[in-house]
Chains A and B, each alone.
Chain A
Amino acid sequence: MGNDAVFRVDCLRKSFGPIEVLGGVSLDLHAGEVAVLMGANGAGKSTLVKIISGVYERGGGTMSLAGQNFAPKTPAGAIRAGVVTVHQNINDGVVADLDVATNLTLDRLSGSGAPILFNPGRVRREAKAVADRMGLMIDLKARIRDLSLADRQMVAIARAMAHRPKVLILDEPTSSLSSAEADRLFALLDRLREQGVAILYISHRMSDIRRLADRIVSMRDGVVSGVFDRKPLDYEGAVNAMLGRKIHLDRIVARNSARPVLTIDGLRIAEGSRPISLTLGDGEVVAITGLVGVGKTALAETLFGVRKPLTGTMVLNGKPYAPGSTGEAIAAGVFLVAKDRSENGIVGDFNIQENISLPFHKRMSRLSVLKRRIERATARQQIQELGIVCRSEKDEMSALSGGNQQKVMVARWMSQAAKLFILDEPFQGVDISARRDIAAKLRASANGRATLLFVTELDEALETADRILVMSEQTIVGEHRNADIDLERLLAEVAGGPLHSAA
């Protein structure tokens, strides 16, 4: 591979209002090389991709393609110049109701120079040429709707490659593929690499990264926090750079628990994954950490009755626990603060008070008529205890800051006593002071229940938990008492190393 980068990003900046999302990102892509871009949620990966692919306008900095200045005004402009992007949502890249041939040549149907009449014969000829170049073995007459996700993905990539781009960007292309399907994708990418395409591959999956990467670029908080290109690649270093580690002023005192609250035995949450067994104790705060897509949310939802485990049993306070619905889980005393509050938590038409009382209407009503006085008193108490900044319990949720919205979500589930309290990414989009408040409140109120947090950021686990479990490939791969943690080992487990060497 040559030293001259085919695509170069220099000091790229972007702000949304007062918030700086990209703080000067520089990046080189070389022909015939796969560069993997890693970064936690909010690190700025998608913003970077959107600027490169012409969706957003950049705030500052320069980009160049093959030595020429590259400044796409629209996605179509970026494609014409030779930079194509395959987005995460596979169905954005294909039209479900059309056949494969039409999809492969879709971009030639419009734009200047496109013929007015639709010529099926010519479309099929052109599509065949594209498919052959890619080694695509799919019936060109098949409708996209009837294809598997992997095949659709192949078509989307082939369609992108029909432009003969110099740079191909893939945004988490394997997030909805099985491992066999992913292997086909990798074979295709190998082929493209041989053809001299520069590939920017965005992913969290360590197995993908180990398979493909020639170079790893880690992003954190809108800047590149590490570039790793010396073979053998330093995967743990890359994860470390992506998750980051700051000095902790407020180290916590890890507690031990005497009485088990929840015992999980042989729980399998995905086809082909190894079973999970663990025990959570009374008064204990346990954090499960791991990269995005390793099954943290799936485990949280299994505990909360949203989905059913493939195998395995759970025992809650000595009784068998197998919730068939969220309602049953709540009745058994298992509460979940779901991740992504705007999607899964906040009822936008309700004010603070109504949002807090939402799961506990039955306990707050007589003859099914809500007792508003109790509802209001509960809300006021929670507002005070969690320090929610608002004018009154009747405020609209949209009037609150992100941190305060999240406090309302936590308050909702803290207003009643739980046996098992689960929080999935409770610090997502939360400022540092609100994060401290919530963590302190969780620890202070931990007695009488087991508390389980799912967090991607290691810092958050270290700040709040007595015990840290590491999750990888849909199972638990490591356990650490938060006292004198062997961070090297923990990071290795997050990066998935020992699991592979042991297997």
Chain B
Amino acid sequence: MSSGWERMAAARDHAIRYGFIVLLFGLIAYFAIAADGFVSPQSAVFIFQSVAITGVLALGVTATLVVGGFDLSIGSVATSAMMAAAYVMVVLEQNAVVAVVACLLIGAIVGLINGWLIVYTRVPDLLATLGMMFLLVGLQRIPTEGRSIATGMTMPDGSVANGTFGAAFLALGRHRFDFFIPNLIPVSVVVLLVLAVLIWFFLEYTRFGRMMYAVGSNQRAAELAGAPVKAYKIWAYVISGVFASIGGILLAARLGRGDIASGNNLLLDAVAAALIGYAVLGAAKPNAFGTAVGAVFVGVLLQGLTMMNAPYYTQDFIKGVVLVVALVFTFALSGRGNR
């Protein structure tokens, strides 16, 4: 083999490994020059805030991707959690803690059902979670007969809902921590960072995370190595459900109402972030760090385009292009898709 050939192989290796990080910094550099005020703490925080909710969802779906599954119900779990939070506080007049617990429970239960459907009834993962998505989109509208939930709304039976979003709950969406500059970092960004570090540590450093990767790569081998494969798969969907419900809590806290029209883009954005994550650092597998970078990448792109006055309706198209390019990076260039 000539050294020229080896150099090419090495160059390709580098392109796969660092391509997306370089692309991210290139993008930031470009917007810094082209768009006024792009490089500022406020702009950075805005990007993080815009990706916080989809980032949390993306981290959850990463867990299901790791075990070789997929969860399409995350977007509808998040909106269901948002509606549930509003219902608990506004209609049932409970406090913030009850609302948060109710949301987390919903996420966990949906995750359990998804896992059960996939593991025990052998419904393929995409179909099971797709069905769950439709089910939840419908279910969340039943208690209020399709209306959004806000303080002072009229209930189907004619009564008026007088409960309010608790201040503590709203703080989850609106409070900002001081960080060098007063009122800089929103709670949602902190939640994103904490969850990202948690799931990254869990997947990379604990024996549970390692075995989840083994299950995703060769389920039979994992089983013959003594792993309770079914339990691992179900847990992955529970993690995904709970993370999605946390996203829903943040959404409810930001909006301050239960809005049936919001959250339409959550699924697409979260899945895009997780799949872009495959390409980061040449991992060629689902990973928490990549997912976080993927989420930031999408956020930077959209914020930059917005500041350059690109029309809003081009955003989905551009997200799609980025996703396809990332998938080419992962599967075609690294050649690992051939296996």
* Chain A residues in the interface with B (C-beta under 8 A): 304, 306, 325-327, 329-331, 336, 338, 343-350, 354, 358-359, 361-362, 364-365, 368-370, 398, 412
Residue contact A346 to B224, C-beta cutoff 8 Å = no
Residues of B contacting A344 in the complex (Cβ-Cβ under 8 angstroms): 220-221, 224
**A325 / chain B contacts, CB cutoff of 8 Å:** 226, 228
- Interface contact A361-B211, CB-CB below 8 Å: yes
CB<8 Å pairs between A and B, sample of 18: A306-B224, A325-B228, A327-B228, A344-B220, A345-B218, A346-B221, A347-B213, A347-B222, A348-B218, A349-B216, A349-B285, A350-B213, A358-B221, A361-B211, A364-B207, A369-B207, A370-B207, A398-B339
Cβ contact within 8 Å between B221 and A326: no
Interchain CA distance A343-B339 in the complex, whole Å: 13
Residues in A whose Cβ lies below 8 Å from that of B222: 347, 358
What is the interface size of chain B, counting residues whose CB is below 8 A from a CB of the partner?
22
Q: Which of B206, B221, B226 contacts A370 (CB 8 A)?
A: B206
A304 to B224, CA, bound (A): 9
Determine if B226 and A359 form an interchain contact, defined as CB atoms under 8 angstroms apart: yes
Known: A348-B218, A350-B217, A358-B221. 19 other contacts (CB 8 A): A304-B224, A326-B225, A326-B227, A327-B227, A330-B226, A345-B221, A345-B224, A346-B218, A347-B214, A348-B217, A348-B339, A350-B213, A354-B210, A358-B214, A358-B222, A359-B225, A368-B206, A370-B206, A370-B207
Interface bits B177-220 vs A (CB < 8 Å: 1, else 0): 00000000000000000000000000001111011011011101
| Chain B residues in the interface with A (C-beta under 8 A) | 205-208, 210-211, 213-214, 216-218, 220-228, 285, 339
Residue in A327, A330, A343, A369 whose CB lies within 8 Å of B206: A369
- B227 surroundings in chain A (CB, below 8 A): 326-327
| A336 surroundings in chain B (CB, below 8 A) | 224
A120 to B140, CA, bound (A): 47
Least CB separation from A301: chain B residue: B224
B contact patch SS: helix
Contact residues in A for B211 (Cβ distance below 8 Å): 358, 361
Q: Give chain A residues whose Cβ lies under 8 Å from the Cβ of B213.
A: 347, 349-350
Contacts of B208 in A (CB 8 A): 368
- Across the interface, which residues of B come within 8 angstroms of A304, CB to CB? 224
How many residue pairs at the A-B interface have CB separations less than 8 Å? 70
Contacts of A358 in B (CB 8 A): 211, 214, 221-222, 225
Q: Is the CB of B207 within 8 A of A347?
A: no
Query: Which A residues touch B217, using CB under 8 A?
Result: 347-350
Tell me the complex Cα distance, A471–B154, Å.
Answer: 77
Question: A338 — which chain B residues lie within 8 A by C-beta?
Answer: 224
Give the residue name and chain of the A residue nearest to B214 (CB).
A347
From A329, A343, A347, A364, give the contact of B226 (CB < 8 A): A329
Closest to A305 in B: B226
Docked complex Cα distance between A331 and B226 (Å): 9
A347-B218 in contact (CB<8A): yes
- In the assembled complex, the CB of A398 is this many whole angstroms from the nearest CB of chain B, namely 8
Bound Cα distance A343, B207 (Å): 22
Q: Please give the distance in Å from B334's CB to the nearest CB on chain A.
A: 12
- CB contacts (< 8 Å) of A330 on chain B: these are 225-226
Of A331, A349, A369, most buried by chain B (CB within 10 Å of CB) is: A349
Query: Which of B208, B220, B225, B227 has the largest count of A CB atoms less than 10 A from its CB?
Result: B225
The chain B residue sitting closest to A304, CB to CB, is B224
A188 to chain B, nearest CB (A): 34
- Chain B residues positioned under 8 Å from A326 (CB to CB): 223-227
Chain A: minimal CB distance from B279 (Å) = 16
Q: Which residues of A contact B225 (CB under 8 A)?
A: 326, 330, 358-359, 412
B residues near A368, Cβ cutoff 8 Å: 206-208
Return the chain B residue nearest A367 by Cβ. Answer: B206
**In the complex the two chains form, what is the Cα distance from A398 to B338 in whole Å?**
12
Contact B214 A343 (CB under 8 A): no
Min CB gap A209→B, angstroms:
31
A362 B218 Cβ-Cβ under 8 A? no
A354 to B224, CA, bound (A): 15
Closest Cβ of chain B: how far from A325's Cβ, in Å? Answer: 7
Residues of A within 8 A of B224 (CB): 304, 306, 326, 336, 338, 344-345
Closest 9 CB pairs of A and B: A361-B207, A349-B217, A359-B225, A327-B226, A330-B226, A358-B225, A347-B217, A365-B207, A326-B226
Write the nearest CB–CB distance from A176 to chain B, whole angstroms: 19
Report chain A residues within 8 Å CB of B228.
Answer: 325, 327
Measured CA separation A327–B222 after assembly (Å): 10
Which residues from A are CB-within-8-Å of B206? 365, 368-370
Task: State the CA gap A330–B226 with chains docked (Å).
Answer: 7
Query: Closest CB of chain A to B198's CB: distance in Å?
Result: 13
Q: Which residues of B contact A346 (CB under 8 A)?
A: 218, 221
Give CA–CA (A346, B219) in the complex, Å.
Answer: 10
**A362 with B207: in contact, given A343-B220, A344-B220, A346-B221 (CB under 8 Å)?**
yes
Pick from B214, B221, B339 the residue with the most CB of A within 10 Å. Answer: B221
Bound-state CA distance A127–B49 (Å) is 67
Q: Which residue in chain B gives the minimum CB-CB distance to A331?
A: B226
- Measured in the bound complex, the distance between the Cα atoms of B224 and A362 in whole Å is 15
Residue on B nearest A396 in the bound complex, by CB = B336
Measured in the bound complex, the distance between the Cα atoms of B205 and A327 in whole Å is 21
Q: Which residues in A have their C-beta under 8 angstroms from that of B220?
A: 343-344
A359 to B220: give the CA distance in the assembly, Å: 13
B207 close to A350 (CB less than 8 A)? no
Among residues of A, the one whose C-beta sits closest to the C-beta of B220 is: A344
B210 partner residues in chain A, CB cutoff 8 A:
354, 361, 370
- Closest Cβ neighbor of B216 among chain A residues: A349
What is the CB-to-nearest-CB distance from A39 to chain B, in angstroms, rounded to a whole number? 26
Closest A residue, CB atoms, query B228: A327
Instruction: Give Cα A478 to B137, complex, Å.
Output: 65
Contacts of B339 in A (CB 8 A): 348, 398
CB distance from A22 to the nearest CB of B (A): 27
B residues in contact with A398, CB < 8 Å = 339
- For A345, the chain B residues whose CB sits under 8 A away are 218, 221, 224
Complex-state Cα separation, A478 to B227, whole angstroms: 35
CB distance from B71 to the nearest CB of A (A): 20
Inter-chain CA distance A358–B216, complex, in Å, is 13
| Cβ–Cβ contact A369 & B205, under 8 A | yes
